[in-house]
Structure 1
Amino acid sequence: MNTYADLVTLLLCFFVLLFAMSKADEGRIKAFMAGFEGGAGILDGGKMLEFEKNIGQMLESAVDGLSDEELGVLQNILQEMVESEQLTGQISVTRNERGIIISLMDKILFDPGLAEIKLEANTIIEQVGIILNMDEFKDRSVAVEGHSDNDPVRYVNMYPTNWELSTARATNVLRFLVEKSDVNPVRISAAGYSFYHPIAPNDTPENKAKNRRADIVILGDSYENTGP
């Protein structure tokens, strides 16, 4: 199994559903997703072109947003797919009052204690860039936010504290999106929050792993100029 390829495909499929369906009928969504079962993860050649064409056609009829109930149906389906591909805990997509949050765990993007993006993670961020550049979202502000656990940093000569590490990671993701994916730099910002915005208590290795993440937030109108 190509874990990174499967992860990218899951991310693309989820966003197609999240933004393009006005009614989240579970049977209809599962039928759509069945078309991707048995694939190798990343579509290539003509199949990828056809997939991108289908995405564009679906997004032409996109609605402003989904209800909490509809989003819950989509998240349940995504979770089933994530579990089936043994990707649990590596990616999550949630929504709150700020907007849509794509959370990528640090282990799929970075080596421990470092901020350079792994080569094999490039495709994941490229696909996020494709989503951010779609007509429906290209005018939305985006915040890239780095988060750490509360362990001391490994390489103090490079990153004296978790402030520097989390900020460097967010900045590198931002630079990739701007320089490699052509996201408009005017609409995107980066910030590091060290370990001060955890999503779980920093009391076990498992919880600390949850807190080490990079969030890519597609901001709603009311939160374009705010942080967490």
Structure 2
Amino acid sequence: MLYDEDEKEENNERWLLTYSDLITLLMIFFVIMYSMSNVDAEKYKQLSQSLNSAFGGSSGVIEGGNSKIEPVVEPGSNDLDSLQNAKFKKVGEEIQKYLNENGMANSVSLRVQDRGLVISLKDTILFDTGKAVVKDNSRDKIIQIGKMLNEMNSYMRVEGHTDNMSIKNSEFKSNWDLSVMRATNVVQLLIDNAGIAPDKLSAVGYGEFRPIAENSSEEGRSKNRRVDIVLVDSKYDNVENVSKDK
């Protein structure tokens, strides 16, 4: 059977119509997907900065693909007057007065950072060496501080820190384990005895990786062995309250 040459050529090119329709549909699909997922760069930058400050980092937020790791946490200011939040200033002054009256000023210090008010407790006031159970003679004092903080109804982060001396015993395999368990036990103490709502608290352990002093001397290492209770500034509530988006 013979076919007209023009008809054969026409039939051979029909697939181009289907192909062009498919390409057009794909292009429309990707344009729609892009428009739905278009990211506001300024909002993304603000969120990155909020997350960085709330979790105790430095200014090394990823920008332009370049990241910077700061090994030493910025100590912050000891001046309570620098607090923008009047309520934070008031509770800070109350805690400082309590520390002075109870001989704790050398073991507990207050620092003002962008993320809020940091109550830093040396490990020796809370724990025996290499242990994570809060000492009996310190429990009441920590509970009292917790009750003062609870009046703020703010989010709190309890952060465990160690020095760079390795630990490995029957209880803890690493400084990570020790720092996490210390933070967790302080959180449990505050929940059970200071009346702080569990959804207002979080516990995190940083091991030796967030020092505030050099680890080359015993004095520096003693400063790094600490538990920080962070009264989080309300501007970071959206970072702490992740459940609200569920």
In which range does the TM-score fall when normalised by the shorter chain?
0.5 to 0.7
Deviation at 1:124, TM superposition (A): 1.5
Match of 2:86 in 1: 63
Letter in 2 for 1:147: H
Distance 1:87 1:204 in 2: 23
Conserved 8 A contact 2:119-2:228:
yes
Q: 1:161 to 1:108 in 2, by over 3 A?
A: same
Correspondent of 1:171 among 184, 190, 193? 184
Query: What do residues 77-123 of structure 1 show as CA deviations (whole Å, max 9, x unaligned)?
Result: x69x85x9875641100111000000000000000010000000111
Match of 1:126 in 2: 143
Distance 2:103 2:160 in 1: 24
Report the 3-state secondary structure (helix = DSSP H, G, I; strand = E; otherwise coil) of the residue aligned with 1:189.
strand
Conserved 8 A contact 1:162-1:195:
yes
* 1:181 is aligned to 2:186: no
Report the 3-state secondary structure (helix = DSSP H, G, I; strand = E; otherwise coil) of the residue aligned with 1:124.
helix
Correspondent of 1:152 among 155, 158, 166? 166
Query: What do residues 50-92 of structure 1 show as CA deviations (whole Å, max 9, x unaligned)?
Result: xxxxxxxxxxxx93565xxxx9xx7xxx69x85x987564110
Letter in 1 for 2:86: V
Match of 1:102 in 2: 119
Conserved 8 A contact 1:117-1:172:
yes
* 1:217 is aligned to 2:221: no
Letter in 1 for 2:125: I
Can you give the 5+ residue segments of structure 1 that lack an aligned partner in the other structure? 1-17, 23-61
Distance 2:180 2:215 in 1: 19
Conserved 8 A contact 2:88-2:117:
no
Report the 3-state secondary structure (helix = DSSP H, G, I; strand = E; otherwise coil) of the residue aligned with 1:174.
helix
Distance 2:184 2:104 in 1: 25
Q: How many corresponding residue pairs?
A: 154
* 1:203 is aligned to 2:216: yes
Q: 1:107 to 1:65 in 2, by over 3 A?
A: closer
Match of 1:92 in 2: 109
Match of 2:27 in 1: none
Distance 2:174 2:139 in 1: 26
Report the 3-state secondary structure (helix = DSSP H, G, I; strand = E; otherwise coil) of the residue aligned with 1:100.
strand
Match of 2:155 in 1: 141
Give the TM-score, by structure 1 length. 0.60
Give the TM-score, by structure 2 length. 0.56
Conserved 8 A contact 2:147-2:195:
no
Match of 2:12 in 1: none
Query: What do residues 27-65 of structure 1 show as CA deviations (whole Å, max 9, x unaligned)?
Result: xxxxxxxxxxxxxxxxxxxxxxxxxxxxxxxxxxx9356
Report the 3-state secondary structure (helix = DSSP H, G, I; strand = E; otherwise coil) of the residue aligned with 2:86.
coil
Can you give the 5+ residue segments of structure 2 that lack an aligned partner in the other structure? 1-79, 241-246
Deviation at 1:129, TM superposition (A): 1.7
Q: 1:223 to 1:94 in 2, by over 3 A?
A: same
Q: 1:159 to 1:86 in 2, by over 3 A?
A: same
Query: What do residues 10-37 of structure 1 show as CA deviations (whole Å, max 9, x unaligned)?
Result: xxxxxxxx69xx9xxxxxxxxxxxxxxx
Conserved 8 A contact 1:89-1:210:
no
Identity %: 35
Distance 2:226 2:149 in 1: 19
Match of 2:205 in 1: 192
Q: 1:187 to 1:91 in 2, by over 3 A?
A: same
Q: 1:102 to 1:223 in 2, by over 3 A?
A: same
Q: 1:109 to 1:191 in 2, by over 3 A?
A: same
